Amino acid sequence: MSRVNNTSPARCVIVNADDFGISEGVNCGIIEAHEHGIVTSASLMVRWPAAPQAAAYATAHPDLSVGLHVDLGEWIYRNGGWEPLYQVVAADDCTAVAAELSRQLDTFRQLMGKNPTHLDSHQHVHRDEPLRSLMVDAAGQMDIPLRHFTPTIRYCGQFYGQDNQGNSWPHLVSTESLIATLASLPPGFTELCCHPGFAAGLETNYLHERELEVRSLCDPRVLRAVGELALQLCSFADCPRVSG
């Protein structure tokens, strides 16, 4: 991975894999996409049994920056509407949400031995209150980026294989689509979100698309395109400090 000059106008891309630790299959997919593809960063879900395995790998491979993927639950589209697959705490209960955020931060530090390199959340629940303000405060205290709320890092969620009703759109995670997305990125820092993994033992709405993502992220054509497009792969550790 190339290290970047923080004052450079180059196109710097953080390829961040969500859901690290949710299952051994997802861990394997993220590891493969890091070692043989373009993934440079991951967001750890600390509540799941495979989280210690993910943390052990990341500790041994510090080039993979690891942040906290705050997990309050997951919603899936069924019978014409969204319903919870599971819920950790009620997302509108400020006291419960604050306590859960604190627990997950503490667990992250226990697993990784340090603060996260960045913060985000499962299914972007931190875009709404009360988690929004709590995570803005937490990110500020640690001086780390928070997805959607750090103006120096753009978020790109185009590499995702479903629509907003859970219908599968595999062409959106094809090699050709990934290369087109990379080509469209502007100068500066961009977080390109992805969800690579292998579906065995995983209960979620997003399954076979994960394996397609692994394939695309590791495709030699993508690696060549990164060079031809003069993109610099980086991690959150390469970004300017949030406080300046």
Cα–Cα distance, 22 to 125 (Å, whole number): 17
Question: Domain for residue 113, yes or no?
Answer: yes
Percentage of the chain exceeding pLDDT 90: 82
pLDDT at 116: 98
> How many domains is the chain partitioned into structurally?
1
Question: Domain for residue 38, yes or no?
Answer: yes
pTM of the model: 0.93
Q: Does 1 score more than 80 pLDDT?
A: no
Question: Domain for residue 2, yes or no?
Answer: no
The closest alpha carbon to 101, from 113, 119, 84, belongs to: 119
**Domain extent at residue 53:** 11-238
Question: Domain for residue 243, yes or no?
Answer: no
Question: Domain for residue 164, yes or no?
Answer: yes
Question: Domain for residue 244, yes or no?
Answer: no
Question: Domain for residue 6, yes or no?
Answer: no
Question: Domain for residue 4, yes or no?
Answer: no
**Residues 6+ away with beta carbon under 8 Å from 231:** 10, 11, 12, 13, 182, 185
CATH number at residue 180: 3.20.20.370
Cα–Cα distance, 217 to 209 (Å, whole number): 12
pLDDT at 6: 45
Q: Does 157 score more than 50 pLDDT?
A: yes
